[in-house]
């Protein structure tokens, strides 16, 4: 009998909506629904009401929700405004760089990972906190223009047409310079000082904190989030690329953190070898949470599964 009970519990469990994947606002809402249903039943039977609430709480704990089909319904029908109430900001990724998708389906370079709009610091996306950016960075009115990243990379011999396909590839010289910086960082890791220096924040590194959030990394300051990367490998790639560009581009130090983030994020997708070792692959994947799901084009390390770059497929198609 105990084994049968354990089997039933295991069958009810849904890890994709519980534990670290649990949507806390959704859980609160479902608990409120359980309380309302329990109070209605309790008007006719106090014991029935107690049992209804108990069973509801058990289901919410095991499954992450009470009403059947909740995840599918919220993903399909809830508008962005309602998702924001649940703390599920629609993906802020904005394509801003390498033009259109070429024959190899490489997406335009976006900025969905390096600087986070949701944290409202040092982001090129809309509705950002510009005061926080000004406090945390040095802004140069004479900063070079990198509105067209493709032209910028080609003009500085960072990229060139690939020899074997219709695409752009890293030049051998820059790839060598980049990995000369990646290799020692892959061994030692990246600390707060290195991250702050790479993006040129005009602030004391002691005012920042580099936080690990599962696979991702986040650079935090007293003003809010200063940067976010999908993996340790992505952070290493950006810091190493910034160091390589210091000797590659004469006026690299004139770029503010916001623009450096745009350049480095766009450049990361051209890596063909993962900073932690092994090849990288590009493909389409579905990213899901309890309330949203969307297709992305992702660049991922084959050996470790670390995500280097991600962009919503709708942004690529646009």
| Whole-number average pLDDT of the chain | 74
Task: Kindly tell me the sign of the dihedral angle through the C-alpha atoms of 150, 155, 159, 160.
Answer: positive
Confidence of residue 318 (pLDDT cuts 50, 70, 90): very low
Q: Which of 288, 287, 40 is nearest to 298 (CA)?
A: 287
Is the pLDDT at 104 greater than 90, yes or no? Answer: no
How far apart are the C-alpha atoms of 66 and 209, rounded to whole Å? Answer: 38
Closest CA to 318 of 117, 108, 104: 108
* Residue 285, token pair as written in the block: 């994947």
Environment class of 68 (CB within 10 Å of its CB; exposed 0-12, middle 13-18, buried 19+) = exposed
Q: Per-residue pLDDT tens for 240-259? A: 999 999 999 988 999 989 89
> Number of helices and strands (H, E) in the chain?
12, 8
Nearest in space to 311 (alpha carbons), one of 272, 273, 284: 284
pLDDT digits (tens, 9 = 90+) for 185-215: 999 989 999 999 999 988 888 889 998 888 8
| pLDDT single digits (tens) 126-170 | 222 323 333 444 444 455 567 788 889 999 999 999 998 888 999
Q: Which residue has the tokens 């130090």?
A: 253
Domain residue spans in the chain? 2-85, 146-270
Q: How far is CA 68 from each of CA 30, 31, 36, 59, 72, rounded to the nearest angstrom?
A: 11, 14, 17, 10, 9
CA 317, CA 315: separation in Å to the nearest integer? Answer: 5
d(Cα 263, Cα 274) in Å, to the nearest integer? 18
* Spatial contact of 158 and 174, defined as CB atoms under 8 Å apart: yes
Q: What's the pLDDT at 144?
A: 56
Torsion angle (degrees, nearest 10) of CA 194, 196, 201, 202: -70
Averaged pLDDT for residues 257-266: 91
CA distance 159 to 44: 73
Q: Percentage of the chain surpassing pLDDT 70?
A: 64
What angle separates helix 70-77 from helix 24-42, to the nearest 10 degrees? 120
The confidence score (pLDDT) of residue 162 equals: 92
- pLDDT (0 to 100) of residue 202: 82
Residue 179 pLDDT: 96
pLDDT of residue 79 exceeding 80: no
**Residue 262 neighbours by CB under 8 Å, 6+ apart:** 96, 97, 109, 111, 114, 124, 146, 149
Q: What is the pTM of this model?
A: 0.60
> Are the C-beta atoms of 185 and 240 separated by less than 8 Å?
yes
């Amino acid at each position: 009998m105990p084994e049968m009970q354990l089997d039933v519990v295991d069958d009810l469990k849904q890890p994709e909506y519980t534990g670290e994947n649990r949507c806390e606002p959704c859980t609160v809402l479902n608990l409120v629904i359980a309380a309302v249903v329990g109070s209605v039943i309790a008007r006719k039977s106090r014991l029935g009401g107690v049992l209804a609430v108990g069973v509801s709480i058990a289901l919410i704990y095991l499954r992450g929700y009470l009403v059947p089909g909740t995840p599918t319904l919220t993903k399909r029908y809830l508008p962005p405004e309602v998702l924001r109430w649940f703390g599920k900001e629609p993906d802020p990724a904005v394509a801003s760089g390498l033009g259109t998708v070429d024959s190899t389906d490489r997406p335009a370079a976006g900025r969905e990972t390096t600087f986070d709009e949701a944290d409202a610091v040092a982001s090129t996306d809309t509705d950002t906190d510009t005061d926080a950016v000004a406090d945390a960075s040095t802004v140069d009115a004479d900063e070079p223009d990198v509105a067209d990243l493709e032209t910028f990379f080609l003009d500085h011999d960072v990229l060139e047409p690939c020899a074997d396909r219709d695409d752009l590839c890293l030049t051998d010289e820059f790839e060598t310079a980049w990995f000369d910086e990646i290799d020692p960082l892959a061994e030692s890791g990246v600390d707060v000082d290195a991250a702050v220096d790479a993006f040129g924040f005009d602030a004391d590194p002691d005012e920042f904190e580099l936080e690990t959030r599962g696979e991702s990394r986040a650079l935090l300051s007293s003003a809010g989030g200063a940067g976010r990367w999908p993996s340790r490998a992505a952070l290493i790639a950006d810091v190493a690329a910034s160091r390589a560009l210091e000797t590659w581009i004469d006026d690299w130090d004139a770029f503010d953190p916001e623009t450096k983030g745009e350049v480095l994020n766009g450049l990361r997708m051209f890596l063909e070898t993962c900073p932690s070792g092994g090849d990288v692959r590009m493909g389409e994947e579905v990213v899901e949470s309890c309330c949203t799901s969307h297709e992305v084009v992702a660049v991922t390390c084959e050996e470790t599964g670390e995500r280097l770059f991600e962009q919503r497929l709708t942004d690529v198609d646009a």
